[in-house]
């Protein structure tokens, strides 16, 4: 078993590191890592249906899709992520609990009682502090999980808050649970970095930390993979399943009812209804939306400079953009 303490806090790099170690390295791995504030969505999710687009955009919170299934989660530096990569076969089926045993044992060594619950969660006093997911590739299994240690619960709830009525799709939905931080249950206060060191020492049986870094060559290869996949709109948003988007908004120009059909992240159909006034046919405006990414910046570029008031009297471009997300 190779033990890695990945010091990067770049979510795109860290998810690329998991994929590279799974597919390009023959090692069995245990890795600890953290992300700066980010939303991580599951492989089979509709990204926009899982996030508060305004919240994440205004706070410059990156949104990144991972390899494994399951629901969306918020990461920050108070959350620790652990990864196991082992040789395994999909025919053996998903087995989340066996990979969480070392984590449970480590916490109990710190006098924190926890239990495995349901399909893939760890709980303290009935509240979730760890969610887990898995991905198989070429006879190998990637298991990873979150460990809420001292996460900012305000950002956690804000980034993942979205109106479920806006999106109609068959994508996997996230299930929200009552959550807790590990730090609240420790008898002796501990900083997150101390906890990481203690957890690694327990799982690795006190292996030397001097050999737990990724090599320069690995770092370069992982960074290339991050550029190719995890830093791209096509992977993080364009890979979402097809969906219908609808939103009804009261604007200064009247009621505006937006309906979009989006596939592979691009608008294939657009209809704008309402009791607004206009001197030009709104079908021309709808046609401008077709073919665009369902992405605020790209739509803003497409619509900037056109006489929007001629189509939707009293509706400004920022107001229309808010209606489209």
Residue 170: predicted pLDDT: 83
Which stretches of the chain score pLDDT less than 70? 89-93
Residue 77: predicted pLDDT: 97
Q: Are 46 and 53 in contact (CB under 8 A)?
A: no
Q: Are 51 and 110 in contact (CB under 8 A)?
A: no
What is the rounded CA–CA span in Å between residue 138 and residue 152? 37
What is the rounded CA–CA span in Å between residue 79 and residue 150? 6
What is the rounded CA–CA span in Å between residue 44 and residue 122? 22
Residue 84: predicted pLDDT: 97
Q: Are 58 and 130 in contact (CB under 8 A)?
A: no
Residue 92: predicted pLDDT: 62
- Give 247-286 as a DSSP string: EEEEETTEEEEEEEEEETTEEEEEEEEES---SS-HHHHH
CA-based torsion, 323, 56, 4, 79: positive or negative: negative
Pairing mode, strands 38-41 and 73-75? antiparallel
Residue 90: predicted pLDDT: 63
Q: Are 276 and 320 in contact (CB under 8 A)?
A: no
Interval 253-303: pLDDT, tens = 899 999 999 999 999 999 999 999 999 999 999 999 999 999 999 999 999
Interval 10-23: pLDDT, tens = 999 999 999 999 99
Residue 91: predicted pLDDT: 61
Residue 321: predicted pLDDT: 96
């Amino acid at each position: 078993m190779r033990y890695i303490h990945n010091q990067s806090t770049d979510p795109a790099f860290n998810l690329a590191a998991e994929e590279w170690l799974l597919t390009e390295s023959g090692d069995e791995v245990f890795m600890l890592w953290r992300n700066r504030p980010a939303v991580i969505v599951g492989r089979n999710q509709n990204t926009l249906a899982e996030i508060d687009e305004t919240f994440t955009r205004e706070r410059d919170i990156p949104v990144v899709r991972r390899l494994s299934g399951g629901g969306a989660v918020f990461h920050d530096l108070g959350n620790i992520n652990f990864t196991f990569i082992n040789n395994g076969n999909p025919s053996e089926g998903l087995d989340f609990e066996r990979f969480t045993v070392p984590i449970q044992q480590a916490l109990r060594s710190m006098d924190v009682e926890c239990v495995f619950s349901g399909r893939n969660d760890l709980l303290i006093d009935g509240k979730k502090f760890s969610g887990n997911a898995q991905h198989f590739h070429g006879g190998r299994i990637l298991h990873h999980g979150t460990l809420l240690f001292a996460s900012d619960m305000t950002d956690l709830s804000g980034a993942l808050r979205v109106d479920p009525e806006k999106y109609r799709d068959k994508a996997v939905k996230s299930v929200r649970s009552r959550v807790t931080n590990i730090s609240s249950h420790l008898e002796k206060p501990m900083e997150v970095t101390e906890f990481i060191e203690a957890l690694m020492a327990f799982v690795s049986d006190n292996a030397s930390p001097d050999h737990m870094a990724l090599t320069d060559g690995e770092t370069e290869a992982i960074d290339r993979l991050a550029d190719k996949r995890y830093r791209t709109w096509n992977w993080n948003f364009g890979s979402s399943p097809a969906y219908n988007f609808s939103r009804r908004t009261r604007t200064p120009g009247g009621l505006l009812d937006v309906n979009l059909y989006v596939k592979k992240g691009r608008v294939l159909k657009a209809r704008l209804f309402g009791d607004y006034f206009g001197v030009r046919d709104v079908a021309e405006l709808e046609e401008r939306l077709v073919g665009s990414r369902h992405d605020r910046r790209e739509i803003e570029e497409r619509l900037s400079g056109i006489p929007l008031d001629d189509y939707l009297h009293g509706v400004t471009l920022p107001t229309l953009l808010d209606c489209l997300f």
